[in-house]
Amino acid sequence: MPVSTENMVRVFGRPESLNESAFSYCPGCHHGVVTRMIAQAIDELNIRERTVVIAPVGCSVSMYQWFRCDGTQAAHGRACAIATGIKRVNPDLIVFTYQGDGALAAIGTAESIHAANRGENITVVFINNQIYGMTGGQMAPTTLLGQWATSCPEGRDGRLAGHPIRFAEMVAQLDAPVYVTRQSLFDQKRLIAAGRAIKKAFRYQVEEKGYSLVEVLTNCPTNWRMGTLEANKHLAEVVVNTFPLGDFVDRG
Amino acid sequence: MAKIDKVLMSGNEAMAEAAICAGCRSYFGYPITPQNELLEYMSAHMPNAGGVFIQAESEIAAINMCYGAAAAGMRTMTSSSSPGISLKTEGISYIAGADLPCVVVNVVRGGPGLGNIAPAQGDYFQATKGGGHGDYHMIVLAPSTIPESVELVMLAFELADRYRGPVMVLADGMLGQMMEPVVLPESIDPATLPAKQWAITGARGREANLVTSFYLDPVELNEMDVRREERYREIEKNEVRYEEYKTEDAEVVVAAFGSMARISRTAVRMARSEGIKLGLLRPISVWPFPYEPLRALSRRVGTILTVEMNAGQMVEDVRLAVAERAETPFYGQLGGLVPSPNDILREVKRYAG
Ligand SMILES: Cc1ncc(C[n+]2csc(CCOP(=O)(O)OP(=O)(O)O)c2C)c(N)n1
Ligand code: SF4
Ligand SMILES: [Mg+2]
């Protein structure tokens, strides 16, 4: 029997600030969840017409094409410098970067730290999946000790390859940032908290409070070579031991 | 208020002031000798002009801040000297790839590596043949005096906007540091510049604007690249600039750009006083390069001597233009040494008469 939608209430839909494009992420990837959360925050704050998407080089390289917002694409690691240029010449715009661990915490370390240190009024979303997703699973600055990656086939050895960088904690040492937090997505409670954190980071920018960093611990089912449930378990039981969750700074 | 008085300024300061006059309201830089006075001048004057000044954490950050400001539709500039320009080349390639207007000043110093802080012209290849990755060009303007530096900085902004790409002003340590009286141009109010419809200003009542150099589909990238190449052909047609000095009856011609051309001009006068028919061809745009005027000269003079403060870079373009129609010797000094008019005259005498 055909179901009538007449008396139904729409409780979930595509955020207004996304266009019809399909994301290019792998199935089960947390990237898609965070990208959607951002769109939802933009909708809820009613800032679509002011928002600028700065896509990185990484699995989210095409992300600026999925929003009904103006956008650009940054050289690998340079997103925070580009965000600085845009925001300073047009402070009415709401500018956010979305970057992986390679972009934010390896090749773009200087740009990332100094934008935070200047307290640029921007929102930085940091996707910490502990791997270089786009290039096929090489070691990231955030790769766990002992973790396998295509460029550390014996597992990451801290003596030779360094230790996982806790970027949120580093940024939290600076005087300027107003909001620095680490979130995850491995269960319902965390999903809700992460969505709220992202919205708060955008809200602080709208309120001209200053720089926010939302680091999100995410999966990479493809390059971790794990199913999504197993990846969630790994995040909840292993990854959080190296990368503790929570707010490090909230001066809002 | 119209500025009509002559003021005594260093080249670095004059180029900074010229940018502000051109309606540039964002400058991003990183200190390096011999261009520090440009950055310092901007730090003092850009805020007064209602613009943005940032001393960036590196030249890489500075050029990417320019990328952002340019994407947002603002006239923007960065400056540096040779080692810093090397760091900017990644960003320049992205700016070219994203079709963004941006002015870059290079106050060239001795190289390679850290080299030294003396004037040099060793960045000619880097400036005119790419420097960064991919098929791109930038218009490169080479002033030989401080008043001309002012003029060419103004022009650089105009051309950057017209052709939507990076434009370099290729100076050197001598031009940057030296002082000369200049008449500052009439200021352009940025509000009177034509709006950039493609710029990132917020998707309010229109489709989203995307600024990018990324085209995953080879067919699409090819299309973008071909379109840009067409623009380059147009630039080659319209924007060649050069100066000829006493070439009408010349038997030998010196080809030189920038400071070296200014010194060569003295050599021409000295040669003439000794009865040697010497002339000078000075490329003002080194990309696009004045191939045609050199080709024409090569049909009537026996020797075109290229003089540079490097190991011989522009001479390759001179030889391309001249082919085998005339002798094309080269004279240069390296390491930040500057050939004197006497050095040039001595060299000319080997080919004259
Ligand atoms: C200058 C430069 N170096 C290297 C690359 C190749 N590259 C593309 S993405 C990437 C790493 C991506 O990892 P991450 O930033 O963690 O993003 P993810 O794909 O994991 O989301 C690298 C090294 C590049 N595009 N540019
Ligand atoms: S490679 Fe990994 S991070 Fe990238 S889209 Fe696929 S699952 Fe996500
Ligand atoms: Mg990653």
- B4: confidence class by pLDDT, cuts 50, 70, 90: low
**Does this chain's domain B3-203+211-238 share its CATH topology with B243-348?**
yes
pLDDT at B311 over 90: yes
Q: CB contacts < 8 Å between A and B, how many? A: 133
- Are the Cβ atoms of B76 and A71 closer than 8 angstroms? no
Residue B3 pLDDT greater than 90, yes or no: no
Contacting residues for B135 by C-beta, under 8 A, at least 6 apart: B225, B228, B229
Structure token digits, residue A225: 């070579």
Cα gap B95→B90, rounded to integer Å: 9
| Per-residue model confidence (pLDDT) at position B201 | 98
pLDDT (tens digit per residue) in B36-73? 999 999 999 999 999 999 999 999 999 999 999 999 99
Interatomic CA distance for residues B24 and B103, integer angstroms = 9
From residue B141, give the alpha-carbon distance in Å to each of B78, B148, B182: 15, 10, 19
Q: How confident is the model at residue A6 (pLDDT cuts 50, 70, 90)?
A: confident
pLDDT of residue A1: 66
Task: Indicate the range of A2-6, A41-45, B90-94 predicted with least confidence.
Answer: A2-6
Q: Which residues contact B281 (CB under 8 A, 6 or more apart)?
A: B242, B243, B244, B245, B247, B253, B254, B255, B290, B293, B294, B297, B304
**Average pLDDT over every residue of B292-311:** 97
pLDDT in tens, B116-126: 999 999 999 99
Taking the CA atoms of B240, B245, B248 and B250 in sequence, report the sign of the dihedral they define.
Answer: negative
Best mutation target among A64, A90, A117 (most B Cβ atoms within 10 Å) is: A90
Q: Which CATH class is domain A31-250?
A: alpha beta
Mean pLDDT of B197-201: 98
pLDDT of residue A123: 99
* B323-334 pLDDT tens trace: 999 999 999 999
Contacts of residue B125, Cβ cutoff 8 Å, sequence gap at least 6: B313
| Partner B contacted by A49 (CB < 8 A) | yes
The residue-averaged pLDDT of A183-204 equals 98
Alpha carbon B298 to its chain's center = 25
Domain ranges of chain B: 3-203+211-238, 243-348
Tell me the chain A residues in contact with residue B71 when contact means C-beta distances shorter than 8 Å. Answer: 72, 82, 85-86
Give pLDDT, residue A2. 74
In this prediction, residue B1 carries a pLDDT of 47
Q: Which CATH number is correct for B3-203+211-238, 3.40.50.2300, 3.40.50.2000, 3.30.70.3460, 3.40.50.970? A: 3.40.50.970
CATH topology of domain B243-348: Rossmann fold (3.40.50)
| CB-side neighbour CA atoms (13 Å) of A58 | 34
Q: Ion ligand 3 — residues with CB under 5 Å?
A: A 100-101, 129
Using the predicted structure, report yes or no on whether residue A7 has a pLDDT greater than 90.
Answer: no
> Residue whose CA is closest, atom 5 of ligand 2?
A25
Q: What is the pLDDT of residues A162-191, one digit of tens each?
A: 999 999 999 999 999 999 999 999 999 999
